[in-house]
């Protein structure tokens, strides 16, 4: 009789161990993910140990050595003020990662709180979501430029200016998940067990948002780095003596035909970082999304 | 024997030694040596519980196995002498609809919602024959007429959402039979429908099958349906055919133990006579109504009266059944009683104390005295929380220390016949029946005076269902809890309930002892409901007709 109790639809855990072909295919398809992870590790290591890696001070001006090509002391040459391009790229990764991590942390944190409230307390929903719709209607970069123009450029204002336009996206995502899960029978069961709202939120609703939020966080991370570079490039970001990939490209633009490396090298660092973050985000999505999981 | 006679006796569908396994090296065998034959003009029912491989068999015949995850490892499927398994994809497409066609379980999703009914049926004709547009339209209208759809011209121009579930299933049958295929495969075609609609659809399939001399492979889990439609029966269990034969042989004198167990698990429609419960009244409801009002801008307000002026009383250690079709308001009534919906009017008195719908703590208090078991055991437990944590959630909400609650949980595991180690595991490690036991234990943790079970056994296989019903019965005896048992299944109600109330369109139309209501119904609606119950003339427990 007990064997009957166990009968049920075939589970996918029962699937056979994959053959050699499948293993090979899995290995080949996972190459980009490994490369992306390697690039990210390099960038993070670069940011952490910037003083050790950099060959010169990123802000030291040396008019005699300006606009040099790659030499033994300056791997990637120098810019119009004689600053070492390699060292500036190394220090620039610090700023990019700080902005990426900061914006991700704040926008996910604030977005999660607002999203949970909007999704669970229906009275909030109308008001909050209309405010979010309003925010989303303004192009993020314009909003950021306006905010910085009002308050002046500093790391804090750049962080705030990039965070604010990202929040509505997180709120929408969280609200959607909460709305979905709150009609599940296990949430109703928790209500009939006399659970307080706080417990229902923490135990039954918020854990469901972790997977989609993690994926969204990687995209916010990439988009924040890009937005910071764009702001710097447009001259609306941090002052130009501070090493940032966007600033470097803006400065190098004038000498692009003479020394294309001044734009190319920071641009390459930016592009590789963004590509890696996005690939890792895709990998996370495939791993965390239950629908994608079933198909593999 | 003449050639003509021989052709008539040859089976239309012959499955020989069919084996299907999960793809990949050493993949698990899902079907082993399945042999099934269906002759022209016969209905062969394949019965089995979930996971028995009955749907997989049907999909193999249609050539619908997903090659990414499943593969055929042996056997052959012959349709009129042609092997489907070795047919080219092109030939397979030709065979579908002309030689074989399929009716799906879910009439809501099997039709394209953005295309008119007529166009969808026409597509079949366009692909498979060379009729001109006029002839196509005529054929479709004739066929719509043949499946007894009212006003075929209007149906032709309708979209699926404008039709009821039963009408949609008729459209699908029309589509399946329009090219007069030799073989019709019906995969649980009535499971998603109400009993009264089910009865009509079954009659329709029988009628058309005789008219066109079609061979029908009918997949079902419901022995009531088997009694009503089958000529032959094939019983499947865990991917194997355990017994096959003419209907009466299987139902009267099953040889296989599994078949015997399965058939005898089907509850009888005739309740045993029970002594009426004379304990105190624990729950009384008077004049309960629930109206859903939807106000919309610039459009008329819609008002749905889900429950109208309902009265009921429940005694201690009594099981009161609430039966009715979908939309009759039985679930709304249950949700109002437990407190998941706020009633529009009426009084709910629990052991002499009126339940108020105040928010906050006063509202939460009621859950110590009244608890609920939900329908779908796969969704009523949080998949991320260990079973033990889920079970003690209730008591700890009301200040019982964790260790005390855990101790009580261990005791309850014994009562619901699960090992104590179950507490440390996650819900996905359990089958549906085991999960429902966990849900019952969770509700009992509060030591409630009233337990509301909303279709608590509807999602379970019949053998598992029988055991859960036994469990509820023993819990009633041991704890003296009053049980409000909501079900659409009259057999289940007859099996377990002391008294029954029947609901229709939000109103209570009949109430009385189970025997009085189910054997001598007074209300015409109750009579119709009992009349529509499939297999009502068969006493499964005693292997004989009533």
Please, which residues 167-196 of chain A have a Cβ atom closer than 8 Å to chain B? 184-186, 188-196
The pLDDT value recorded for residue B336 is 93
DSSP strand pairing (B70-79 vs B43-47): unpaired
A9 within some domain: no
* Secondary element (H or E) of residue B74: strand B70-79
Paired residues of A190 in beta bridges? none
Mark yes or no for CB contact A15/B27 under 8 Å. yes
Q: For residue B5, what pLDDT band results from cuts at 50, 70 and 90?
A: low
The pLDDT value recorded for residue A151 is 86
CATH superfamily, region B311-341+356-545:
P-loop containing nucleotide triphosphate hydrolases (3.40.50.300)
Per-residue pLDDT reduced to its tens digit, B71-116: 888 899 999 888 998 889 899 988 988 899 999 888 878 899 999 9
Is A6 within 8 Å of chain B by CB?
yes
Q: For the residues B265-274, what does the mean pLDDT come to?
A: 88
Please, which residues 49-88 of chain A have a Cβ atom closer than 8 Å to chain B? none
Per-residue pLDDT reduced to its tens digit, A187-223: 999 999 999 999 999 999 999 999 899 999 999 999 9
Mark yes or no for CB contact B385/A185 under 8 Å. no
Q: For the residues A246-255, what does the mean pLDDT come to?
A: 90
Mark yes or no for CB contact B385/A203 under 8 Å. yes
Q: For the residues A96-118, what does the mean pLDDT come to?
A: 95
Mark yes or no for CB contact A16/B22 under 8 Å. yes
Per-residue pLDDT reduced to its tens digit, B306-357: 999 999 999 999 999 999 998 899 999 999 999 999 899 999 999 888 887 6
Q: For the residues B485-513, what does the mean pLDDT come to?
A: 94
Among A9, A19, A195, whose Cβ lies nearest the Cβ of B24? A19
8 Å CB contact between B349 and B355: yes
Asked if B10-108+182-265 and B311-341+356-545 have one fold, the answer is yes
Q: For residue A17, what pLDDT band results from cuts at 50, 70 and 90?
A: low
The pLDDT value recorded for residue A68 is 82
pLDDT exceeds 90 at position B6: no
The pLDDT value recorded for residue B324 is 92
pLDDT exceeds 80 at position B24: no
Q: Directed axis angle between helix A31-48 and helix A20-29, to 10°?
A: 40
Show the 3-state SS of B386-445: CHHHHHHHHHHHCCCCHHHHHHHHHHHHHHCCCCHHHHHCCHHHCCHHHHHHHHHHHHHC
A116 within some domain: yes
Is A290 within 8 Å of chain B by CB?
no
Paired residues of B345 in beta bridges? B289
- Shortest alpha-carbon distance between residue A191 and chain B (Å): 8
Q: Mean pLDDT check: name the lowest of A7-11, A22-26, A173-177.
A: A7-11
Spatial CB neighbours of B57, under 8 Å, sequence gap ≥ 6:
B15, B18, B31, B34, B36, B46, B219, B236
Question: For position A285, which CATH number holds?
Answer: 1.10.3720.10
Phi, psi of A87 (to 5 degrees): -65, -35
Tell which residue, B43, B81, B461, has the closest CA to residue B217: B43
Q: For the residues B463-479, what does the mean pLDDT come to?
A: 92
Q: Mean pLDDT check: name the lowest of A225-229, B234-238, B301-305.
A: B301-305
Q: Which CATH class is domain B10-108+182-265?
A: alpha beta
Structure-model confidence comparison of residues B208 and A290, the more confident one: B208
Is A296 within 8 Å of chain B by CB?
no
Tell which residue, B311, B313, B319, B314, has the closest CA to residue B274: B319
A209 within some domain: yes
pLDDT exceeds 70 at position A289: no
Output the pTM of the full model: 0.84
Q: For residue A13, what pLDDT band results from cuts at 50, 70 and 90?
A: very low
* Secondary element (H or E) of residue B284: strand B281-296
The pLDDT value recorded for residue B187 is 92
DSSP strand pairing (B499-504 vs B319-323): parallel
pLDDT exceeds 50 at position A9: no
Average pLDDT of every residue of chain A: 86
pLDDT exceeds 50 at position B1: no
A28 within some domain: no
Spatial CB neighbours of B389, under 8 Å, sequence gap ≥ 6:
none
Domain assignment of residue A72, given as a range: 34-295
Per-residue pLDDT reduced to its tens digit, B125-134: 998 888 889 9
Q: Enter the DSSP assignment of A82.
A: -
Per-residue pLDDT reduced to its tens digit, B412-441: 999 999 999 999 999 988 999 999 999 999
CB pairs under 8 A between A and B: 106
- Shortest alpha-carbon distance between residue A218 and chain B (Å): 24
Chain B residues closer than 8 Å to A188 by CB: 340, 374, 380
Phi, psi of A51 (to 5 degrees): -60, -30
Average pLDDT of every residue of chain B: 90
What residue segments make up the domains of chain B, in order of their start?
A: 10-108+182-265, 311-341+356-545
- Shortest alpha-carbon distance between residue B66 and chain A (Å): 11
Q: For the residues B525-542, what does the mean pLDDT come to?
A: 91
Torsion of CA B368, B369, B370, B372, to 10 degrees: 40
In chain A, how many domains are there? Answer: 1
Structure tokens at B175: 């589509």
């Amino acid at each position: 009789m007990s064997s009957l109790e166990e009968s049920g639809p075939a589970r996918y855990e029962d699937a056979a161990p994959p053959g050699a072909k499948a293993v090979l295919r899995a290995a080949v398809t996972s190459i980009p993910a490994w490369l992306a992870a390697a690039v990210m590790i390099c960038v993070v290591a670069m940011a952490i140990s910037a003083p050790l890696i950099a060959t010169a001070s990123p802000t030291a001006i040396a008019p005699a050595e300006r606009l040099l090509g790659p030499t033994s002391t300056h791997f990637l040459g120098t810019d119009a003020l004689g600053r070492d391009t390699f060292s500036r790229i190394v220090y620039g990764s610090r700023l990019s990662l700080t902005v990426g991590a900061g914006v991700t942390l704040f926008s996910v944190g604030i977005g999660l709180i607002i999203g949970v409230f909007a999704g669970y307390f229906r009275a909030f929903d109308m008001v909050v979501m209309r405010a979010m719709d309003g925010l989303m209607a303004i192009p993020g970069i314009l909003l950021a430029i306006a905010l910085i123009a009002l308050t002046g450029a500093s790391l804090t204002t750049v962080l705030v200016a990039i965070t604010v336009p990202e929040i509505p996206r997180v709120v929408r995502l969280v609200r959607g998940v909460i709305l979905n899960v709150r009609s599940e029978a296990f949430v109703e069961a928790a209500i009939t067990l006399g659970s307080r709202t706080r417990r229902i939120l923490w135990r039954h609703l918020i854990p469901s948002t972790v997977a989609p939020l993690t994926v969204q966080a990687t995209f916010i991370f990439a988009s924040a780095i890009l937005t910071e570079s764009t702001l710097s490039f447009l001259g609306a970001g941090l002052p130009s003596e501070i090493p940032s990939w966007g600033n470097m490209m803006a400065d190098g633009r004038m000498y692009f035909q003479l020394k294309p490396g001044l734009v190319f090298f920071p641009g390459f660092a930016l592009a590789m970082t963004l590509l890696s973050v996005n690939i890792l985000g895709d990998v996370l999505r495939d791993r965390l999304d239950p629908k994608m999981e079933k198909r593999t | 024997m003449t050639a003509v006679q021989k052709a008539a006796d040859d089976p239309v569908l012959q499955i020989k030694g069919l084996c299907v396994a999960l793809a990949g090296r050493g993949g698990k065998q899902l079907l082993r040596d399945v042999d099934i034959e269906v002759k022209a003009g016969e209905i062969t029912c394949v019965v089995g519980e979930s996971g028995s491989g009955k749907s997989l068999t049907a999909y193999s015949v249609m050539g619908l196995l997903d090659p990414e995850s499943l593969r055929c490892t042996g056997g052959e499927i012959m349709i009129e002498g042609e092997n489907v398994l070795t047919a080219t994809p092109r030939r397979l497409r030709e065979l579908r609809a002309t030689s074989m066609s399929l009716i799906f379980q879910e009439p809501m999703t099997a039709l394209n919602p953005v295309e008119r009914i007529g166009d969808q049926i026409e597509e079949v004709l366009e692909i498979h024959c060379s009729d001109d547009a006029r002839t196509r339209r005529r054929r479709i209208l004739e066929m719509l007429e043949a499946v007894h759809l009212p006003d075929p011209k209007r149906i032709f121009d309708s979209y699926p959402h404008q039709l009821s579930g039963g009408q949609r299933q008729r459209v699908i049958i029309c589509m399946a039979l329009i090219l007069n295929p030799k073989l019709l495969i019906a995969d649980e075609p009535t499971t998603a429908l109400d009993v009264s609609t089910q009865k009509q659809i079954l009659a329709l399939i029988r009628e058309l099958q005789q008219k066109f001399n079609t061979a029908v492979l009918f997949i079902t889990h419901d022995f009531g349906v088997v009694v009503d439609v089958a000529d032959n029966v094939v019983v499947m269990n865990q991917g194997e055919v355990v017994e096959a034969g003419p209907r009466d042989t299987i139902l009267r004198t099953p040889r296989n133990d599994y078949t015997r167990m399965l058939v005898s698990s089907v509850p009888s429609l005739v309740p045993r006579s029970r002594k009426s419960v004379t304990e105190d009244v624990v729950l009384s409801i008077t004049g309960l109504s629930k109206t859903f009002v939807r106000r919309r801008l610039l459009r008329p307000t819609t008002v749905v009266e889900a429950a109208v002026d309902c009265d009921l009383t429940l005694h201690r250690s009594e099981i009161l059944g609430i039966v009715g079709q979908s939309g009759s308001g039985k679930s709304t009534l249950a949700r109002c009683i437990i407190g998941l919906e706020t009633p529009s009017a009426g009084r709910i008195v629990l052991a002499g104390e009126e339940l108020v719908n105040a928010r906050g703590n006063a509202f939460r208090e009621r859950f110590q005295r009244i608890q609920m078991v939900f329908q779908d055991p796969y969704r009523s437990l949080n998949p991320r929380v260990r079973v033990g944590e889920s079970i003690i959630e209730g008591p700890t909400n009301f200040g019982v220390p964790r260790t005390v609650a855990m101790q009580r949980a261990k005791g309850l595991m014994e009562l619901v016949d699960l090992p104590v180690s179950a507490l440390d595991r996650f819900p996905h490690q359990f089958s549906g029946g085991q999960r429902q036991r966990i849900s019952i234990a969770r509700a009992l943790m509060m030591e409630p005076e009233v337990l509301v079970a909303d279709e608590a056994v509807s999602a379970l296989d019949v053998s598992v269902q029988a055991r859960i019903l036994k469990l509820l019965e023993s819990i009633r005896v041991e704890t003296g809890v009053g049980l409000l048992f909501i079900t659409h299944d009259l057999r289940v109600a007859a099996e377990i309930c002391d008294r029954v109330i029947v609901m229709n369109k939000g109103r209570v139309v009949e109430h009385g002892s189970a025997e009085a209501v189910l054997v001598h119904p007074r209300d015409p609606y109750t009579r119709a409901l009992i009349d529509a119950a499939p297999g009502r003339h068969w006493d499964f427990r005693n292997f004989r007709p009533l």
